[in-house]
Amino acid sequence: MNKFIKALSLILVLTGTVYLPSANAASTGKTTSMLITLAETDPVLVERLNDIALTDTKLLKQILKMAGTDPVKLEKLVDLAETDIDMFWTLANIYNTNKMQEEEEQQMSTFGTIDDGGVIQN
């Protein structure tokens, strides 16, 4: 029975990952391995994620982006999205704004530097 539940959970994870290809291709491998681990340890959470994937892909992408590879954050974000969607989107807006500011700061920190490839010029 236990092997059956693991196999069923794994199938749910793999079906759920069909909805993830556009959710940041670089981190999809890490996300998939996290989901497989969750399938073995917390199949109920995987079912909840699958329900979100089937109904609201934008919400799923945002949850996965905010959670990164942390299953605890993932569960808390799913709980928040299910209980208070307005608060979730408020936090998502703050998160996205903060990420944009961090990216702008990174771009600004390298602005004006010239990389000559290490060639010494006379």
Residues 6 or more apart whose CB falls under 8 angstroms from that of 43 comprise: 5, 8, 9, 12
CA atoms within 13 A on the CB side of 28: 12
pTM: 0.62
Burial class (CB in 10 A: 0-12, 13-18, 19+), 63: buried
| pLDDT classification of 36: cutoffs 50, 70, 90 | confident
Domain boundaries of the chain, sorted by first residue: 2-104
- What is the C-alpha to C-alpha distance for residues 114 and 23, in angstroms, rounded to an integer? 33
- pLDDT given for residue 2 in this prediction: 64
